[in-house]
Amino acid sequence: MAELGTARIAAGQPAQEIEEELAEVGVQLGFPGIQAAVGPTGLLVTLTEGGPTTYRSAPPGLRLHQAASVRLIRHQVVHGELGPGAAREQLAAVAHRPVQQPSWLLALAWPVLAVGIALILQPGWANVAAAAAGAVLVFGLVQLAERYEVVKALLPTLAAFAVSLAVFGAANAGLLGGPLRTVLPPLAVLLPGALVVNGMSELAAGHMQAGSARLTYGLVQLGLFALGLLVATALLRVPASSLVNLRVDEIGWAAAPVGLVLIGSSICLMEGVPLRMQGWVLLVLSLAFGAQLAGQQLGSIGLGGFLGAIAASLGSSVVELRRPQLPRLVLFLPAFWLLVPGSLGLVGVTELAAGRESASDVALGLLGVAIAISLGLLVGSSVGRALRGQLAAPAA
């Protein structure tokens, strides 16, 4: 139970969902009184009230193909298809299962992902090219971070500094406009949007310790990204007027659908998502983007985030109900990354530091977007659970 729970933590699942899943597994294994206290870095679990308690730290983060395997193991245990001993052996094997793709193809996925996000956030030809070049810089720094601890500790600041130096340097030379939004696509993989929104979701569900710890860590990471960006702009003597949230649109309506396809395919490649799931990933990704866009047109960024989160969470839940072998988390996370709450946060923090916005406006804006997405997640997952009894299909 402890190993299964920490594997779900490493997959990025909110604490309240992990506790619900462990309770379901406990009933199947003959321990209906199981109690678990899940945090962002580990958990405590006891099988019976007043019985011995086990603590286990979470392993390093899992990729989506590993998260899919963990979900399948839990599904088999719940349905009596796998015993505890065999489940432990399979969980241990999952942690060491690499992505079955050549290294050069995985490296190529980084600029492809940045291009896809740029086609949605900043669809200008020069901006898209700059995003691809910035992603190559970020990938190089990530490779260095795997070898050197000092680079790993400073990775957010170093990545933001390197990308900002290149992008704002190009803007100063008159090669592109809207540099602030152009900085975001290469950094999107590293931005802590999932941390911030998961933290808000956990707080809304009553998990105060896990939620506050995750939220605080995410906000600190945002500050480190903003620090690197501001150091680069100060070094280049970029005027505060250039640190504005300006959108450049030279490509037109075709940019968004092409960007969605590139985002979905590159994430599936980077995360080793099995081929049988990739079409479903793209479907949920498209639903989330359509709902987010509709919300922004009808109201605001907050409404777009709320509707996008509902579409992503509910859509992935319905797919999992109809196809139990397709884990909701794997279908949901790529769509969740598309909501880019971390990018919006980085823009806000940067404008605050540049003196363009007041602290209260930025704080309320970030909080509003995070709350909207968190509420969307809660609504979507709650409706999905309510539909479970009606739409559940037998395992394939």
Residues 216, 205 contacting (CB under 8 angstroms): no
Tell whether 54 is covered by a domain.
yes
Residues 179, 121 contacting (CB under 8 angstroms): no
Do residues 78 and 110 share a domain? no
Query: Among 147-151, 161-165, 174-178, 365-369, which stretch is predicted with the lowest mean pLDDT?
Result: 365-369
Do residues 113 and 175 share a domain? yes
Q: Regarding beta strands 53-57 and 42-46, do their DSSP bridges make them parallel or antiparallel, or are they unpaired?
A: antiparallel
Tell whether 254 is covered by a domain.
yes
Tens digit of pLDDT for each residue in 66-104? 888 888 888 888 888 888 888 888 988 887 777 777 788
User: Above pLDDT 90, what percent of the chain?
Assistant: 12
Tell whether 167 is covered by a domain.
yes
Predicted confidence at residue 376, as pLDDT, reads 78
Tell whether 396 is covered by a domain.
no
Tens digit of pLDDT for each residue in 178-203? 888 888 889 888 877 667 767 777 88
Tell whether 304 is covered by a domain.
yes
* Residues in a beta bridge with 133: none
Tell me the one-letter amino acid at 191: L
Q: Which of 233, 111, 243 is nearest to 161 (CA)?
A: 233
Do residues 259 and 237 share a domain? yes
Do residues 140 and 281 share a domain? yes
Q: Please state the domain count of the chain.
A: 2
What does the alpha-carbon distance between residue 155 and residue 395 come to, in Å, rounded to a whole number? 42
- 170 vs 355, residue with greater confidence: 170
What does the alpha-carbon distance between residue 183 and residue 290 come to, in Å, rounded to a whole number? 24
Task: Among 94, 115, 147, identify where a domain stops.
Answer: 94
Predicted confidence at residue 395, as pLDDT, reads 44
Do residues 270 and 310 share a domain? yes
Total residues found in the chain within this entry: 396
**Which domain, by its residues, includes 362?**
103-391
Do residues 129 and 111 share a domain? yes
Do residues 216 and 322 share a domain? yes
Do residues 161 and 46 share a domain? no
Predicted confidence at residue 344, as pLDDT, reads 52
Do residues 146 and 209 share a domain? yes
0.95 exceeded by pTM? no
CA distance readout (Å), 302 to 127, 294, 368, 378, 384: 25, 12, 6, 15, 22
Per the prediction, the chain carries an average pLDDT of: 81
CA distance readout (Å), 269 to 41, 186, 202, 274, 374: 27, 17, 29, 9, 27
Residues 56, 3 contacting (CB under 8 angstroms): yes
Q: How many other C-beta atoms lie within 10 A of the C-beta of residue 206?
A: 10
Tell me the one-letter amino acid at 105: L
Tens digit of pLDDT for each residue in 364-382? 566 666 677 777 777 877 7
Tell whether 157 is covered by a domain.
yes
- What radius of gyration do the chain's Cα atoms show? 21
Do residues 215 and 282 share a domain? yes
**What is the distance, to the nearest Å, from the Cα of residue 181 to the centroid of all Cα atoms in its chain?**
19
Residues 335, 309 contacting (CB under 8 angstroms): no
Tens digit of pLDDT for each residue in 331-352? 777 777 776 544 555 555 555 4
